[in-house]
A and B are shown apart, each in its own frame.
Chain A
Amino acid sequence: MTNEDESRRKVTQKDQHYSNADVSGGIDEHLQAHIGSQLKSMYDSYLNEPIPDRLVELLEKLDEVSREGGDVPESDLESGR
């Protein structure tokens, strides 16, 4: 009974970690879980970095240029007058 419960719990845990059985292969699960969390926290740390001013300024500049009808293509040329 207890053993059965135990193994069922293990299987469920495994399924949660690796929905795709072929992905986990025969690799050590701890290491794979470690890789997964490292990857996520790395990405999240990049995600939370402040956006450099030069990129925000670039967007403002692009916006300005297209408002003034600069060389950024506008799709509504025929609606002129």
Chain B
Amino acid sequence: MNPRKELLEHMPNMRAFAISLCGRADRADDLVQDTLVKAWTKLDTFEPGTNMRAWLFTILRNAYYSELRKRRREVEDADGAMAATLATHPEQDGHMDFSDFRTALDRLPPDQREALILIGASGMSYEEAAEICDCAVGTVKSRVNRARLRLAEIMSVESGAEFGPDSTSQPIVTPRSASRSVA
């Protein structure tokens, strides 16, 4: 096994998982950096032939949560109970194409967000996701389920049900100005 080559191959996925989790490329790269160092120092605990991507995701995910806990403590220290609303800053993430979706995703509880990303985007199986998140397969399923419901709720409220007019054009389409007779 050539660890440098292997880790390099998994790097795009590690980054994608990290950015999906935390919403910001700069923080994600710090996470990946942290993960690389940790993975390198405990390469001897990795069983060759097993799923290296899942192994790396586990390390990355744990690094993410310890960073999140640290940030929460800092925010609590700074100004009391604001930790609950501590979120990422989508306006700084530079991925404007998905800004609405990204904003909705960032509003999910972290455990639901990570389950949805693993199952719905990274292509992990429920079993792999359960191992990465250190929980039961059934728990992953219910988190994914709740994440989808919650996202649907957020997105349908914010876009006007059924992808109607978006929030900027909505005020124009008031009942009074609606010229329905034309159609």
Chain A residues packing against B (C-beta within 8 Å): 20, 22-23, 25, 27-28, 30-32, 34-36, 38-49, 51-52, 54-56, 58-60, 62-63, 66, 72-75
Size bin of chain B's contact surface: 35 or more
Say yes or no: B29 contacts A47, CB within 8 Å. no
- Distance between A70 CB and nearest chain B CB, rounded to angstroms: 11
Say yes or no: A47 contacts B13, CB within 8 Å. yes
- Distance between B36 CB and nearest chain A CB, rounded to angstroms: 6
B80 within 8 A of partner (CB)? no
Out of B16, B32, B151, name the residue touching A43 (CB < 8 Å): B16
Which applies to chain A's interface (DSSP): helix, strand, loop or mixed?
helix
**CB-CB < 8 A to A34: which residues of B?**
155, 163
12 cross-chain CB contacts under 8 A: A39-B116, A42-B20, A42-B95, A42-B102, A46-B19, A47-B13, A51-B12, A55-B11, A60-B4, A62-B4, A62-B37, A72-B41
Which applies to chain B's interface (DSSP): helix, strand, loop or mixed?
helix
**CB-CB < 8 A to B19: which residues of A?**
46
Task: Give the complex CA separation of A73 and B95 in angstroms.
Answer: 39
- Distance between B118 CB and nearest chain A CB, rounded to angstroms: 10
B170 within 8 A of partner (CB)? no
Say yes or no: B98 contacts A42, CB within 8 Å. yes
Chain A residue at smallest Cβ distance from B156: A31
A42-B120 in contact given A28-B162, A47-B12, A59-B4 (Cβ < 8 Å): no
A62-B40 in contact given A43-B122, A49-B15, A55-B29 (Cβ < 8 Å): yes
Say yes or no: B121 contacts A73, CB within 8 Å. no
Task: Give the complex CA separation of A34 and B15 in angstroms.
Answer: 24
Task: Give the complex CA separation of A11 and B77 in angstroms.
Answer: 54
Out of B8, B29, B152, name the residue touching A59 (CB < 8 Å): B8
Task: Give the complex CA separation of A72 and B43 in angstroms.
Answer: 10
B145 within 8 A of partner (CB)? yes
Task: Give the complex CA separation of A30 and B13 in angstroms.
Answer: 28
Task: Give the complex CA separation of A38 and B3 in angstroms.
Answer: 33
Task: Give the complex CA separation of A75 and B36 in angstroms.
Answer: 18
Chain B residue at smallest Cβ distance from A42: B98
B144 within 8 A of partner (CB)? yes
Say yes or no: B33 contacts A27, CB within 8 Å. no
